[in-house]
C-alpha cells in the first residue's frame, strides 16, 4: 500500500476487531449456567418439570389465543413422585437416541459422526439430561377438560431397544390410554443417513364424547457450557458463536435471541410455515411443524434447582376428535449439525433448506453473511476438487488474487515507483522542513509530475479486509471444517497451529513486504508502530484458527511474489533505459 498511514489504520482496525471478538468471547455477558452435577439420563429425566401449557390456557375449539400459555405448575416445581422409567435406546447410522417413556421425550442424542475431539472416542452429545448440560426435546397434548398425555405422562413401549440395521426406515411406537377411552400413539420415524426424526401423535377417541385439545412441542435447555481448557492443542471457538433460541417465519424470516435476552424480549406470535430451534456452535435442534399449519410460537423461562432453563415451543391449532374417530398431529424434529451440503454444483440451496425453508440460516455468519455464504460455497467446490479443506483455502486465495490481479498490479507498480523516488521525496521534506503546507503542495505537484497516485494501492487491502473477516466466520461456523486436517503438523484447521509455524511464516512475509513498502511521510512514532506490526499480528495469529492464518499467509506470500516481480521489472527497465541513454 502506497500510503503507510492508511495501511496502519486498516491494520489497527483489524487488530481492534479481533481483540474485541476475543474479549466478548472470554468476558462478555453470559447467562447463568447450571452447576456441573453428574446424572444419568434415566435418573435426571424423572425430574423434568412440567413447563407446558396448562389445560385452562388452551381454547376448546378455536385457534390458540395470543396470550402466553402458563406453566402447569409454579416456576421451579418438579415432578419428584413420577416413577423412574427405563429409556428406550434407538441406534441408526448417524444417531444414538434415548427416549424416556415418561412423556415420550427425547432426552439424549449422540451424533455418531462427530467426535468430541479428533482421534478420540466419544461422539458429541447434543441432547442430554445432565443438569449441567440439560437439553431435551419434549412433546405432548393438552386439553381444557379431557385427559391428555403431556410430557409427564407415562407411555408404554413394545421394547427397550431398536436398531436401524440394514433397513432404510425405523419406526418406534409408544402408546398411552385412559379410562375414558381416549388413546394416543406417539410414533417416531428414523431414516438412514438422516438427522430428521418424524413424529406423529395419533389420537384415537373410543369414548362417548368429543375430545378437544392442542399438540405442543418444545425444546428446553440450560445455557450451553463452553470448555475453555484448550488442552492437547485443541482450541475452543464456541465462545464466539451464537448460543440461544432461534425461529423462522415466512414473514419475519430468521430471528434469534440470546438466553439473557429472552426474559426482556419473549416470543409470542402466530406463524404458518416456520420452525423453532435452540442453537449452539456447529449443532442445533429444531421443531418443524407442518408447512400449512398455523402455529403459536412462544418462549418461556423456568427457574430450576439446578439452574435456569429456557424453553421455546410450538402450540398447534385446536384438534377435535369425535367419538369413534381418529386424528393425527405431525411434526419433524431435527437433531444434528449445521451442515450445508449444497445439493448440486451451482445451487446455493443446501440440505437444511430442503428439510425446511430457511433452516440453513441457523449457520449464522452475522454481519458478514453476504460475503461468507459465497466463500463457503466456493470452499465447498474446491474441497470436492481437492478432498482437503486446507488446499481448498489455498485455491480460494488464488482465485481472489486472480480476480484482483490488475488492481494489485497497479498497487505494486505505484509502490515500486514510490520506492525508487524516495530520495527525491526525502529531499523535498528536508527542503521545506516544518512548513507542512508548502511540503504538501510540493508533494502533490511531484505526484502529478511523476504520475503517481498515493491512494491507488489502498483498494486491494480495503477489499480483502471484509473477505478476511468473512472467512474468519466461515472457519468458526462451518461444521464441515470442524477438526478438518491439512498436512503434516496441522491436523485441525479450526484450531491454532500447535507449533506456531504459520504465524512465524506470516511474520516473515510481513517483514519482507514491509521492507519493500515506502515509508515516506511517516513520523518516527508511526514508523516504530509499523515495525512492530509483524510481531503483533504473529502473536495474535498464534491463537487463531490455523485455516485463517493459512489464508492470510498464502495471500501475503502471493502478494509479496507479485510485488517482487513487478519491482524488479521496473528497476531493471529503468536501468536498461539509463544504460541505453549513455
pLDDT tens readout for residues 282-311:
999 999 999 999 999 999 999 988 889 999
Helix (H, G, I), strand (E, B) or coil at 199: strand
Range 78-99 average pLDDT: 80
Highest mean pLDDT among 17-31, 141-155, 233-247: 141-155
* Residue 513: predicted pLDDT: 83
DSSP β-ladder status, 156-157 and 169-177: antiparallel
Compute the C-alpha angle 487/489/490, nearest 5°: 60
Which band of pLDDT confidence, cut at 50, 70 and 90, is reported for residue 351? confident
CATH T-level fold of 41-51+81-225+300-364: Beta-galactosidase; Chain A, domain 5 (2.70.98)
* Residue 161: predicted pLDDT: 97
Report the 10 Å Cβ neighbour count for 192: 14
Q: Across the chain, what does the average pLDDT equal?
A: 80
* Residue 424: predicted pLDDT: 75
Using the predicted structure, report yes or no on whether residue 41 has a pLDDT greater than 70: no
* Residue 569: predicted pLDDT: 80
Number of H helices, E strands in the chain: 12, 20
Using the predicted structure, report yes or no on whether residue 233 has a pLDDT greater than 50: no
Instruction: Name which residue leads in pLDDT, 539 or 190.
Output: 190
Asked which of 52-56, 164-168, 434-438 is least confident by mean pLDDT, the reply is 52-56
DSSP 287: E
| pTM, rounded to two decimals | 0.80
Using the predicted structure, report yes or no on whether residue 73 has a pLDDT greater than 50: no
* Residue 51: predicted pLDDT: 45
How far, in Å, are 156, 185, 329 from residue 101 at the CA level? 7, 12, 19
Range 195-201 average pLDDT: 98
Euclidean distance between CA atoms 471 and 399, whole angstroms: 14
Report the 10 Å Cβ neighbour count for 328: 14
Using the predicted structure, report yes or no on whether residue 48 has a pLDDT greater than 50: no
* Residue 80: predicted pLDDT: 38
Euclidean distance between CA atoms 322 and 104, whole angstroms: 25
Nine-digit cell at 1? 500500500
Using the predicted structure, report yes or no on whether residue 521 has a pLDDT greater than 80: no
Instruction: Name which residue leads in pLDDT, 329 or 541.
Output: 329
Using the predicted structure, report yes or no on whether residue 63 has a pLDDT greater than 80: no
Euclidean distance between CA atoms 242 and 363, whole angstroms: 10
Chain segment 260-273, per-residue pLDDT in tens: 999 899 999 999 99
* Residue 112: predicted pLDDT: 96
Which band of pLDDT confidence, cut at 50, 70 and 90, is reported for residue 544? confident
What is the 3-state secondary structure of 130-160?
A: CHHHCEEEEEEEECCCCCCCCCCCECEECCC
Using the predicted structure, report yes or no on whether residue 66 has a pLDDT greater than 60: no
Using the predicted structure, report yes or no on whether residue 69 has a pLDDT greater than 90: no
Euclidean distance between CA atoms 106 and 98, whole angstroms: 6
Euclidean distance between CA atoms 340 and 348, whole angstroms: 9
Helix (H, G, I), strand (E, B) or coil at 300: strand
Using the predicted structure, report yes or no on whether residue 50 has a pLDDT greater than 60: no
Chain segment 2-26, per-residue pLDDT in tens: 344 444 445 555 555 555 554 444 4
Which band of pLDDT confidence, cut at 50, 70 and 90, is reported for residue 460? low
Using the predicted structure, report yes or no on whether residue 280 has a pLDDT greater than 90: yes
Q: Would you list the domain boundaries of the chain?
A: 4-22+374-581, 41-51+81-225+300-364
* Residue 457: predicted pLDDT: 56
Burial of 449 (0-12, 13-18, 19+ CB in 10 A): exposed
Instruction: Name which residue leads in pLDDT, 242 or 526.
Output: 242
Which band of pLDDT confidence, cut at 50, 70 and 90, is reported for residue 227? low
* Residue 30: predicted pLDDT: 47
DSSP β-ladder status, 88-91 and 161-163: parallel
Nine-digit cell at 453? 497516485
Asked which of 184-188, 223-227, 552-556 is least confident by mean pLDDT, the reply is 223-227
Which band of pLDDT confidence, cut at 50, 70 and 90, is reported for residue 429? confident
* Residue 340: predicted pLDDT: 86
Using the predicted structure, report yes or no on whether residue 515 has a pLDDT greater than 60: yes
Report the 10 Å Cβ neighbour count for 272: 14
Using the predicted structure, report yes or no on whether residue 534 has a pLDDT greater than 50: yes
Nine-digit cell at 62? 378455536
Using the predicted structure, report yes or no on whether residue 77 has a pLDDT greater than 50: no
Range 416-435 average pLDDT: 73
* Residue 516: predicted pLDDT: 74
How far, in Å, are 135, 163, 258 from residue 265 at the CA level? 21, 42, 10
Chain segment 480-501, per-residue pLDDT in tens: 999 999 999 999 998 899 999 9
Using the predicted structure, report yes or no on whether residue 78 has a pLDDT greater than 70: no
Using the predicted structure, report yes or no on whether residue 188 has a pLDDT greater than 80: yes
Helix (H, G, I), strand (E, B) or coil at 369: helix
Instruction: Scan for cell 521489472, then name that residue.
Output: 569
Using the predicted structure, report yes or no on whether residue 29 has a pLDDT greater than 90: no
Instruction: Name which residue leads in pLDDT, 246 or 414.
Output: 246
Amino acid at each position: 500500500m502506497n500510503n503507510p498511514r492508511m495501511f496502519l489504520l486498516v491494520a489497527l482496525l483489524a487488530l481492534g476487531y479481533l481483540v474485541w471478538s476475543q474479549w466478548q468471547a472470554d468476558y462478555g455477558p453470559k447467562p447463568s449456567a447450571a452447576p456441573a452435577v453428574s446424572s444419568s439420563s434415566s435418573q435426571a429425566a424423572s425430574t423434568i418439570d412440567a413447563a407446558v401449557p396448562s389445560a385452562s390456557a388452551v381454547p376448546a375449539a378455536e385457534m390458540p389465543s395470543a396470550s402466553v400459555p402458563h406453566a402447569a405448575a409454579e416456576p421451579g416445581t418438579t415432578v419428584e413422585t413420577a416413577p423412574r422409567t427405563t429409556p428406550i435406546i434407538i441406534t441408526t447410522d448417524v444417531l444414538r437416541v434415548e427416549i424416556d417413556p415418561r412423556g415420550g421425550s427425547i432426552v439424549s442424542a449422540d451424533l455418531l459422526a462427530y467426535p468430541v475431539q479428533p482421534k478420540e472416542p466419544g461422539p458429541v452429545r447434543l441432547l442430554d439430561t445432565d443438569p449441567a448440560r440439560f437439553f431435551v426435546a419434549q412433546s405432548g397434548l393438552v386439553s381444557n377438560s379431557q385427559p391428555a398425555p403431556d410430557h409427564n405422562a407415562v407411555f408404554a413401549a413394545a421394547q427397550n431397544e431398536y436398531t436401524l440395521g440394514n433397513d432404510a426406515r425405523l419406526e418406534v411406537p409408544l402408546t398411552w390410554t385412559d379410562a375414558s377411552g381416549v388413546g394416543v400413539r406417539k410414533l417416531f420415524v428414523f431414516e438412514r443417513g438422516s438427522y430428521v426424526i418424524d413424529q406423529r401423535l395419533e389420537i384415537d377417541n373410543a369414548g362417548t364424547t368429543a375430545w378437544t385439545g392442542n399438540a405442543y412441542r418444545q425444546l428446553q435447555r440450560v445455557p450451553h457450557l463452553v470448555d475453555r481448557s484448550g488442552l492437547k492443542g485443541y482450541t475452543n471457538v464456541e465462545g464466539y458463536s451464537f448460543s440461544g433460541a432461534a425461529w423462522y417465519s415466512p414473514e419475519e424470516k430468521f430471528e434469534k435471541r440470546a438466553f439473557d435476552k429472552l426474559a426482556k424480549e419473549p416470543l409470542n406470535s402466530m406463524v404458518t410455515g416456520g420452525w423453532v430451534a435452540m442453537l449452539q456452535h456447529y449443532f442445533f435442534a429444531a421443531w418443524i411443524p407442518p408447512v400449512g399449519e398455523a402455529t403459536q410460537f412462544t418462549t418461556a423461562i423456568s427457574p430450576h434447582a439446578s439452574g435456569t432453563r429456557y424453553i421455546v415451543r410450538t402450540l398447534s391449532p385446536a384438534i377435535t376428535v369425535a367419538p369413534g374417530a381418529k386424528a393425527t398431529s405431525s411434526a419433524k424434529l431435527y437433531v444434528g449439525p449445521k451442515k450445508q451440503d449444497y445439493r448440486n454444483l451451482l445451487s446455493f440451496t443446501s440440505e437444511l433448506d430442503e428439510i425446511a425453508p430457511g433452516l440453513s440460516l441457523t449457520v449464522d455468519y452475522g454481519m458478514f453473511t453476504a460475503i461468507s455464504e459465497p466463500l463457503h460455497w466456493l470452499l465447498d467446490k474446491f474441497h470436492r476438487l481437492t478432498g482437503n479443506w486446507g488446499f481448498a483455502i489455498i485455491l480460494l486465495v488464488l482465485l481472489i488474487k486472480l480476480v484482483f490481479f490488475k488492481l494489485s498490479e497497479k498497487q505494486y507498480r505505484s509502490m515500486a515507483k514510490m520506492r525508487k523516488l524516495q530520495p527525491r521525496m526525502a529531499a523535498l521534506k528536508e527542503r521545506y522542513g516544518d512548513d507542512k503546507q508548502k511540503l504538501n503542495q510540493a508533494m502533490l505537484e511531484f505526484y502529478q509530475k511523476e504520475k503517481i497516485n498515493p491512494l491507488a494501492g489502498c483498494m486491494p487491502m480495503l477489499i480483502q479486509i471484509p473477505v478476511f473477516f468473512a472467512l474468519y466466520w466461515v472457519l468458526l461456523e462451518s461444521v464441515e471444517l470442524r477438526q478438518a486436517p491439512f498436512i503434516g503438523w496441522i491436523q485441525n484447521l479450526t484450531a491454532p497451529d500447535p507449533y506456531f509455524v504459520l504465524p512465524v511464516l506470516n511474520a516473515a512475509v510481513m517483514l519482507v513486504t514491509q521492507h519493500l513498502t515506502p515509508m515516506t511521510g511517516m513520523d518516527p512514532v508511526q514508523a516504530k508502530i509499523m515495525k512492530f506490526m509483524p510481531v503483533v499480528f504473529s502473536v495474535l495469529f498464534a491463537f487463531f484458527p490455523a485455516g485463517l492464518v493459512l489464508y492470510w499467509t498464502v495471500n501475503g506470500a502471493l502478494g509479496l511474489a507479485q510485488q517482487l516481480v513487478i519491482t524488479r521489472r521496473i528497476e531493471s527497465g529503468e536501468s536498461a533505459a539509463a544504460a541505453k541513454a549513455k
